[in-house]
Structure 1
Amino acid sequence: MALRSAIVLGAGMVGVSVALHLQRRGYEVVLLDRQGPGEGASFGNGGLIQREAVYPHPFPRALAELRRIAGNRAIDVAYHPLALPGFVSPLLRYWWNSEPTRYLQAVLAYSRLIATCLDEHLALARGTEAMALLRPIGWMRLFNEPRLLDAALAQAETAWRDYGVNFTALDSQALAEAEPHLLVGRLGAIHWTDPLSVSDPHALTLAYAGMFAEAGGSIVLGDAATLQRAGAGWRVQGKAGPVEAAEVVVALGAASVEVTRRLGYAPPLFGKRGYHLHFGLRGNATLNRPVLDTESGFLLAPMRAGIRLTTGAEFARPDAPPSPVQLERAEPVARQLLPLAERVEDKPWMGVRPCTPDMLPVIGPLPGQQGAWCAFGHAHQGLTLGPTTGRLLSEMMLGEAPFVSPEPYRADRF
């Protein structure tokens, strides 16, 4: 084993970014996953590097909103009734952490990571083929209810004042000029101007993985569940044989706890399933930037593969088969908003977002295990925060002064 060597378990955006940062700091790194880079949750998302996302998603506390979700007929949230007992404990903790005072503390910690996301992605992508995938067009949130628009504008003003987030408010006419092929009018919109829109999230992960491989990094197929101690280091079974290193990083997203539990650490991680499907556009219609229709609860994003329709969150047992009911609810509404043509693929994509009850990722040493580290729990922001996490964790592993305080994200807070 090299003096500085590491196995990174998980080849999504977070794991690839960790591997690349460690490599650039002198580590010999093996990146291991059961499938190719970016084929898990990093494959399917809205494709946004969300500089504006300084407010993590809180658990709803308004009674009317809870009643709406309980009806289980929404586009943005769905659940399997038989799965709910398994979510009781983490969701109660999620609700508790969403109390306004505690939520503000989460926002402060979360916003410090989000503030770095553009710089850290550009630091990896600049001067490479990855830059062509990053479009500086932001995204829009559409509104048709004055109450919701007013509340969103007030929060946007606070985000601008407190966290340096930039936006433009559009009335109905300005929105129609910006997106002339919308089929229906909306009262107004907020255009978040800072975020980068990724034309192919999978290709971006592959581009970063390609940088890692070209610099001598090893990408292997293997089973993370075989992780075990090997003297003072670690061993895991790769497809072509065992792999050993002095240190290990668990970056397996929603599956991370399956590995850490056997090492004595079982954080209250829970998964939210999401789906996407691509469509063509009729005639000469275009969509200039991603748009989220607030009242309907879905996102439409222009991608290389077509217009990607994404859903919100589905709560289901880990082994439950896909149930894309939210896509079925969203598609007819989306067709009323935009002239969608045929489906590009026959089968929807499904992935799982790794969430924590306090809305913060787990970044840092794995409790009680020398040489083991955590990098998971990013919820909807794994694509956004991958490079930030990679830099932060690599600095910690080398004993450098972290560029962001890691205290709020430490593993032993649970």
Structure 2
Amino acid sequence: MPSSAIVLGAGMVGVSVALHLRRRGYDVTLVDRRGPGEGASFGNGGLIQREAVFPHPFPRTVGEMARIAGNRSVDAVYHPLAMPFFAAPLLRYWWHSEPARYARAMQAHAALIETCLDEHLALARGTPAEALLRPIGWMRLYSDPRMLDAALAQAEQARRQHGVNFVALDGRGLAEAEPHFMAQRAGAIHWTDPLSVSDPHALTLAYAGMFTAEGGRFAIGDATSLRRAGAGWAVRTAEGEVEAREVVIALGIAAAEVTRRFGYAPPIFGKRGYHLHYTLRGNAVLHRPILDTESAFLLAPMRAGIRLTTGAEFARPDAPPTPVQLERAEPIARTLMPLAEKVEDAPWLGVRPCMPDMLPVIGRLPGQAGAWCAFGHAHQGLTLGPTTGRMLAEMMTGEAPFVAAEPYRADRF
């Protein structure tokens, strides 16, 4: 067969892989059971997080673990009956968060993060997608001056080691930057590098539109129907069976459903998250996304309204929505900003695909010629989609990837 690929999964990662392959001359079919960007890429804080060089470690202090174990927080909740399902991956997550191992993971994570702005802008510049990328950064707010000082020390480390830029604000500076914020805080860190996306779903759709405009094909299909077809691969779609020489599995949390059938069982686990939009009263404005450390949730100005996002919920994949975090967060949010009506009747729910070593899987599917992996980006799928797309396309075409791929190989576990 000529250079051809099926890309399974049309979130930000899958769309980016498909677009980069198409631009290298591949005949590409992008397959998903829903439209592009309707999974985890639909709902998030909408940030291209250039500052996020430090991945989220497993809590290691007794106080923090006791707080989460109480199951009453906004940033982390769990379904008790689901915890046996999470025991093995969370134990691995805790093991990889040991300081020396975490330092290695951080270096590999930062190598990807450092590329994110350039890779997004390389796709978006000069297209309608560029208008969705707002160069306004985001702010993290602190009540405790000691916590602010510790955060500023880490921010300085990120600036020295990884070129991250930020501005420190005291309480007065915060009030001037966000005059409609109604609570007093000791100060804030304004991360100035990140791009704030006004509509994450629209951004994924914009990149998908580039892909189809350049000759790529999108089809509704069933990724679990993937099978070997001679020297290549085949999958069932609404338009009939599609065959290609290579396949890319970019299915997020659902990736393991496919890879297990071909001998690879990644230790992937999901963190569920919710969001809901609100209008603001009167002429109030939120100028940029804010994460209030004391309250442990993000408020972000979006096309649809002010998006209130939650932290992590640990539940079995088939568990019905339980948006208790939003129920806890909304009354607090109303003391911070003059929120008015809810925009939607029901909150959105999505699942972040996480790996226990805090690094995505990018590279060959072990033991399967012509099969590739691109999943496990946790909270950074929106941020790292174009980076992953370029890396994997370079690997598939025999080029040296612009980010060394060894730390992300699938067989590292």
Bin the TM-score by the shorter chain. Answer: over 0.9
Identity %: 77
What residue ranges of structure 1 are gaps of 5+ in the alignment?
A: none
Q: Which amino acid aligns with 2:111?
A: R
Describe the superposition over 1:223-244 as per-residue Cα deviations: whole angstroms up to 9, x where unpaired.
0000000000000000121010
Q: TM-score, normalised by structure 2?
A: 1.00
Counterpart secondary structure, 2:40: coil
Quick one: distance in 1 between partners of 2:168 and 2:307?
A: 24
| Displacement after TM superposition at 1:292 (Å) | 0.2
Q: Which amino acid aligns with 1:191?
A: H
Q: Which amino acid aligns with 2:212?
A: A
1:232 aligns with 2:231: yes
Quick one: distance in 1 between partners of 2:249 and 2:401?
A: 19
Describe the superposition over 1:24-59 as per-residue Cα deviations: whole angstroms up to 9, x where unpaired.
001000000000000000000000000000000000
- Map 1:393-412 onto structure 2 (within 5 A): 393-412=392-411
Quick one: distance in 1 between partners of 2:396 and 2:368?
A: 13
Name the counterpart of 1:149: 148
Quick one: distance in 1 between partners of 2:384 and 2:234?
A: 28
Counterpart secondary structure, 1:181: coil
Describe the superposition over 1:122-155 as per-residue Cα deviations: whole angstroms up to 9, x where unpaired.
0000010000000000000000012211111110
| Displacement after TM superposition at 1:219 (Å) | 0.4
Quick one: distance in 2 between partners of 1:52 and 1:312?
A: 18
Q: Which amino acid aligns with 1:42?
A: S
Describe the superposition over 1:369-397 as per-residue Cα deviations: whole angstroms up to 9, x where unpaired.
00000000000000000000000000000
Q: Which amino acid aligns with 1:109?
A: A
Name the counterpart of 2:63: 64
- Map 1:112-127 onto structure 2 (within 5 A): 112-127=111-126
Name the counterpart of 2:208: 209
Quick one: distance in 2 between partners of 1:324 and 1:248?
A: 36
Quick one: distance in 1 between partners of 2:381 and 2:14?
A: 10
Quick one: distance in 2 between partners of 1:147 and 1:255?
A: 41
Which aligned segments of 4 or more residues in structure 1 are displaced greater than 6 angstroms? none
1:366 aligns with 2:365: yes
Counterpart secondary structure, 1:35: coil
Describe the superposition over 1:77-116 as per-residue Cα deviations: whole angstroms up to 9, x where unpaired.
0000000001000000000000001000000000000000
1:108 aligns with 2:107: yes
Name the counterpart of 1:158: 157
Quick one: distance in 1 between partners of 2:29 and 2:147?
A: 48
Quick one: distance in 2 between partners of 1:300 and 1:184?
A: 14
Name the counterpart of 2:270: 271
| Displacement after TM superposition at 1:217 (Å) | 0.6
Note the aligned Cα RMSD (angstroms).
0.4
1:25 aligns with 2:24: yes
Name the counterpart of 2:323: 324
| Displacement after TM superposition at 1:75 (Å) | 0.2
Name the counterpart of 2:290: 291
Quick one: distance in 2 between partners of 1:323 and 1:114?
A: 32
1:42 aligns with 2:38: no
Counterpart secondary structure, 1:29: strand
Counterpart secondary structure, 1:42: helix
Quick one: distance in 2 between partners of 1:301 and 1:133?
A: 14
The count of residues paired between Structure 1 and Structure 2 equals 413
Quick one: distance in 2 between partners of 1:242 and 1:338?
A: 51
Counterpart secondary structure, 1:351: strand
| Displacement after TM superposition at 1:184 (Å) | 1.0
| Displacement after TM superposition at 1:12 (Å) | 0.1
| Displacement after TM superposition at 1:214 (Å) | 0.6
- Map 1:179-218 onto structure 2 (within 5 A): 179-218=178-217
Describe the superposition over 1:3-24 as per-residue Cα deviations: whole angstroms up to 9, x where unpaired.
1000000000000000000000
Q: Which amino acid aligns with 1:319?
A: D
Q: Which amino acid aligns with 2:354?
A: C
Counterpart secondary structure, 2:77: strand
| Displacement after TM superposition at 1:295 (Å) | 1.1
Q: Which amino acid aligns with 1:168?
A: V
- Map 1:352-391 onto structure 2 (within 5 A): 352-391=351-390
Name the counterpart of 1:343: 342
Quick one: distance in 1 between partners of 2:146 and 2:323?
A: 30
| Displacement after TM superposition at 1:330 (Å) | 0.3
Q: Which amino acid aligns with 1:287?
A: L
Quick one: distance in 2 between partners of 1:147 and 1:367?
A: 47
Quick one: distance in 2 between partners of 1:239 and 1:326?
A: 38
